[in-house]
Amino acid sequence: MNATSLHGLYDARFEHDSCGFGLIVNLDNLASRALVDAALLALERMAHRGAVGADGKTGDGCGILLQRPEAFLRRVAEQAGIRLGTVFAAGNVFLPHDPSAAADARRLLSEELARVEVHTAGWRLLPVNRDVCGERALQSIPHMEQLFVVPAAAMDQASFQRALFLARRRAEQRLHELADFYVVSLSAHAIGYKAMVLPAALRTFYPDLADPQCSAAFATFHQRFSTNTSPQWRLAQPFRLLAHNGEINTIEGNRHWAEARAAKWRSPAIDLRELKPLVSLTGSDSMSLDNMLEVLLAGGLDLLHAMRILIPPATSQLAARDPELAAFYDYYALSVDPWDGPAGIVLCDGRYAACTADRNGLRPARWLLSRDRHLVIASETGVYDIDPADIVAKGKLGPGEMIAVDLYSGALLDSPAIDDINRQRAPFQRWLKRGMQYLISDLIDPALAAEPFDPATLRRFQKLFQLTREEREDVLRVLAETEQEAIGSMGDDTPLAVLSQQTRSLYDYFRQAFAQVTNPPIDPLREQCVMSLATQIGREGNVFELSPDNARQVMLNSPILSQRKLRQLLAMPAFAQAHQRFDLYFDPATGMAAALVALTQAVEAAVRAGTVIVLLSDFHPQHGRLPLHALLATGAVHQHLIRAGLRCECNLIVETGTARDAHHFACLIGYGATAVYPYLAYQTLLELNRQQVVKAKRSGERTELGRSYRRAIKKGLLKIISKMGIATIGSYRGARLFEIIGLQAEVVDQCFAHTTSRIGGAGWAELTQDAEALHAAAFDEAIGIQAGGLLKFRHGGEYHMFNPDVVQALQRAVLTGDYADYQIYARQVNQRPPSTLRDLLALVPAATPLALTEVESIDALLPRFDSAGMSLGAISPEAHEALAIAMNRLGGRSNSGEGGEDPARYGTEKSSRIKQVASGRFGVTADYLINAEVLQIKVSQGAKPGEGGQLPGHKVNELIAQLRYARPGIGLISPPPHHDIYSIEDLAELIFDLKEVNPQALVSVKLVAHAGVGTVAAGVVKAYADLITISGYDGGTGASPISSIKYAGTPWEMGLAETQQTLRRNDLRGKVRLQVDGGLKTGLDVIKAAILGADSFGFGTGPMIALGCKYLRICHLNNCATGIATQDERLREHHFTGLPERVMNYFRFVAMETREWLALLGVRSLDELIGRSDLLAPLAGLGARQHGLDLRPLLAIDG
């Protein structure tokens, strides 16, 4: 049994935080007690920025970082019998309570200090008052001591600080298994105090902070709002240099590349090789950022230099305004990817006290300068008492701006002054002009492929790489014709790849990560100016060495290559003799895993011999040799080169037939590919063009088909990276921002290490069988290319859970009103081949079932049922009203969706009891809000998490435009983020505001299942939401990009179980009601969802089918044949036959079936069933893939 099986789905890696922060500094570097008091008071005034644990006293963490109060520290040292010299440093240290372990930690730290010629002067027991701690804080409180050290040899301040850093890092490496050892700070210029208490209790908890002699010239302070469910004192802030409000969306990639660059970076000031890993690979993102800043400062950079490299502004428009400054940022972008995400950061290194904001300016940072030369910066106003007449200047940091105080000179530096310092560090513009080469070809490729495949060869490749007729017509053709991703509707009702009886693409096992609540996605349409797909080719440079050699790179405008650009690149003098092709085929006798090992070793040898471009290619298939999937090869080679310390010496270019849509490219780039050449996509488009199937744009005599395809893919890539709030492709590369559903650990560890994969699945044997089947079909001329069936039901294709038989059976049942007919439908659903995870979870019947009369009534169950959010616009007014009438008559609730509602319906049975508040705020008025029983904040939607709602222009008629305050005929796309929710505390504010508008309403927050949704839900509970909806990937939609429908979000079974487990761990489960939606069809689904933790249940597609929907998947086209998903008056008038009674029949049938299952389980009510995971047992499933699944983590009592 693996660790996940034992401990459930919760993982500390999933935790997030957002916060309040501030900085107070005296420009003249004059220490005072008043400054410390002002900082502590400001911290108390930001208590609303934090959250309180279930015990009412445990905070998420707060702290203060002070300039070293020298007189105070000398006094307490003397009182403790510690002798200090002229130069000394002090720091606070968390230690284990076990005396022996604490003694070992003190001894090892002292040994490492001695190695760098620093003497341990003594340890002082740090006074603390535990009475202010809550129960949960006390459970994890460390033992605390204060360390005093002095230099044992002559050294300047910088050398002393560097010695302290080196000794601490070495000690941390030696003591990495001792979880309770943590150095809060050990510095010659500052000292930190932090605790898991409420801000008002900090100075009581640490009596040092209340001492009148504790004075300082600067103080940074921080209050944390975290989804953290296992209190960790070390994660409270400030850290050793900085305090951070926000979230580093790029953290996975940043950590990954820090690991890779540790072998490349060299500094004369310090040997970085012994500090691996350079940054913490676990813990909070802020901690890792603090680690990286320490490394850069220890390596010789100053704070202004380092922070502008790590968190640069957007530079796409900068070159025209300030080419020298743009050159500074462009130069360092070749060696360091930005640490991007919503970020407001205050920091101090002894010389500079500063604040910086991210490129989007998504975290507030307001400042004022007083007449007595104090600079105050905070995440909000009102934290510092000052007479307005004493304010000399004030403002707020804009996107990408920075402000700093030079404590040596007393100068206040704004962004232009800081930029002026940085641009003068070297002749960056001249270096780039001489070293950078831009790969420029004709904007219009004269041909998609210089050597077109003959028809037989093309068919062989299409079969080998699973390119079906459906994909060719509905995906590739649309990409090339429209320069946009294909749009679909109704969601995904096919089995997960690991459950499919078909041979599915490896890409189908990867689910895209997305941001929700704690960090917002970026809007790739409205914020395109901050985004970039620019990709460089060449060896990376050393960030600590200012050299023109670092600028010798080739720049591409995107990682998607045409044939001409690939050939042009390989022929360049720098790469003509420095590239090598590696074929991705292997002898079956070798085995797939062994073949990957051989490949990685061959690539390593080539790179050591001077290869700069590694070309991984499946362009030359051979009969008798099986294909190595390009994604397996890319992941394995990339992580092997990192371990070998060679990844920064080369670039990985993937020449593959497997990559056709944006998700495929995102997977390859996410696991390390520098660029991708999708030759089979080009060859297929060339064939369609020859057949005059695709409507190619023309420019003179030359087709623009390839360029149109690449434009569409680039838009898709920007959308995918924007879902995680990432602005540049460099920060996405190698970041592994996916969850794997259905691969064994042996595959994940070898190719996709550190990617979340929680339930096992297919291993090397099954992947080899897939390769054998594809190879056999490719070289069998009697077999044609497959028809497809992933997007729509096709006979002989992939199984669909809403297949025609299921649809017809349900409609027959609701029309006749006969429960026997419903039972036929229920059997078709409940006894289908395993298609969802719940299909592999069997009920555990009671030894003695109850009589049906002993089970709660249908009327008691119906209020737990909701119709899922479907907007008036996505569906017709008649359908929208029919759902509302049905649910109101049943005692359940209908959901308005995000398009508003006709005020004429308020107060009638046509009014939706749930009113949705989405990112576009369409139709949200005061009247709308007060006419609701539940106000649902839609953060994400199952069919397209990380994106906003979408209503095509042809569905925006006069009524829809009036309700949404829009113009008829204009398409409406909601932004991916709520522009007033950039953090968990922003969500708390919106929840508060909605309750102020409608005090009687419950407030619900809708989230989508993905790894970590449980910890997000914990934060939502702390924000005082009343309900949380967990949506599965298979939820319906009126319109969504197909790549989002197929590749984003995970099963609700995992999201619900993780949320249930996480809330129970944190004693929060009783404070919120959980709802689930996404593909629910029968009473058995209700029972299994309740066992996994759900209190209530949302149904979307089922009620639509009950109204008459034929599941044609044309909702987005406005020509629905049943008048349901259309605004066309003719279709609505002549074809809509849906009656509320049919929906009522459906829900009553579901309730009747639910009662039967309750009786079988020996449970009288649904309340008794919620969270009873002991009543489910995993099934073996069908075939080796399903046998490899381990669903026990879903059934853990808590995480």
Q: What is the mean pLDDT of residues 255-269?
A: 93
The answer on pLDDT for 811 being more than 60 is yes
Which pLDDT score is estimated for 363? 82
Assess if residue 861 is contained within a domain. Answer: yes
- Verify that 763 and 876 share a domain, yes or no: no
pLDDT band at 749 (very low <50, low <70, confident <90, very high): very high
Q: Which two tokens stand for residue 932?
A: 């609701």
The answer to whether residue 97 is domain-embedded is yes
Residue 324 in 3-state DSSP?
helix
Q: Work out the average pLDDT over 639-646.
A: 96
pLDDT at site 232: 82
Average pLDDT over residues 232-253: 91
Q: Is 1104 a domain residue?
A: yes
Tens of pLDDT, residues 391-418: 999 999 999 999 999 999 999 999 999 9
Residue 558, C-beta contacts closer than 8 angstroms, at least 6 positions apart: 533, 534, 535, 710, 714, 717, 729
Is 797 inside any structural domain?
A: no
The pTM assigned to this predicted structure is 0.94
Give pLDDT tens digits for 62-72. Answer: 999 999 999 99
pLDDT of 592 higher than 50 = yes
Percentage of the chain exceeding pLDDT 90: 79
Average pLDDT estimate for 247-273 = 91
User: Same domain for 614 and 758?
Assistant: yes
Asked if residue 441 is part of any domain, the answer here is: no
Q: Which of helix, strand or coil describes residue 1063? A: helix
pLDDT for residue 1: 32
- Calculate mean pLDDT across residues 483-499: 92
Q: Tell me how far apart the alpha carbons of residues 327 and 311 are, in angstroms, rounded to a whole number.
A: 16
Are both 1044 and 982 inside the same structural domain? yes
Q: Output the average pLDDT for the chain.
A: 92
CATH code assigned at 101: 3.60.20.10
Active site residues: 19
Predicted confidence (pLDDT) at residue 5 exceeds the cutoff of 50 = no
- 73 and 127: one domain? yes
Residues 883 and 761 in one domain: no
Together in a domain, 472 and 522: yes
Q: What percent of the chain has pLDDT over 70?
A: 95
- Is pLDDT at 226 greater than 90 in this prediction? no
pLDDT for 860 beyond 80: yes
Task: Mean pLDDT check: name the lowest of 162-166, 815-819, 984-988, 1158-1162.
Answer: 984-988
Are both 472 and 416 inside the same structural domain? no
6 pLDDT tier (thresholds 50, 70, 90): very low
For residue 792, pLDDT over 70 is answered with yes
Total number of domains in the chain:
3
Domain shared by 551 and 416, yes or no: no
303-313 tens-digit pLDDT: 999 999 999 99
Mean pLDDT in residue range 214-236:
81
Specify whether 563 is located in the same domain as 702. yes
User: pLDDT tier at 471 (50, 70, 90 boundaries)?
Assistant: very high
Please check whether residue 307 is in contact with residue 354, taking contact to mean a CB–CB distance below 8 angstroms: yes
Helix and strand numbers (H, E) in the chain are 42, 44
Task: Output DSSP code: residue 921.
Answer: -
- Whether the pLDDT of residue 744 is over 70: the answer is yes
Answer whether residue 492 is part of any domain.
Answer: no
Residue 359 in domain: yes
- Which domain CATH number covers 1161? 3.20.20.70
The per-residue pLDDT for 928 is 96
671 in the same domain as 532:
yes
Report the pLDDT averaged over residues 1101-1130.
91
| C-beta of residue 779 within 8 angstroms of C-beta of residue 623 | yes
- Are 201 and 313 part of one and the same domain? yes
Q: Where are the beta strands (DSSP E) in 1060-1155?
A: 1073-1077, 1096-1099
Domain membership of residue 283 as a residue range: 12-434
Ranking 362-366, 679-683, 991-995 by mean pLDDT, the lowest is: 362-366
Confidence (pLDDT) at 1037: 82
For the record, the structure tokens of 439 come out as 């790969």
Highest mean pLDDT among 7-11, 249-253, 586-590: 586-590
DSSP assignment string, 694-715: S---EETTEE-HHHHHHHHHHH
**Amino acid identity for residue 115 in this structure:** R
pLDDT (0 to 100) of residue 702: 44
Least confident of 97-101, 319-323, 508-512: 319-323
Question: How many other C-beta atoms lie within 10 A of the C-beta of residue 552?
Answer: 18
Q: Are the beta carbons of 268 and 300 closer than 8 angstroms?
A: yes
Looking at 162-316, which runs of residues are DSSP E strands?
182-183, 190-197, 218-226, 242-246
Quick one: 403 and 476 in the same domain? Answer: no
In a domain, residue 115? The reply is: yes
Residue 444 clears pLDDT 90, i.e. is over it? no
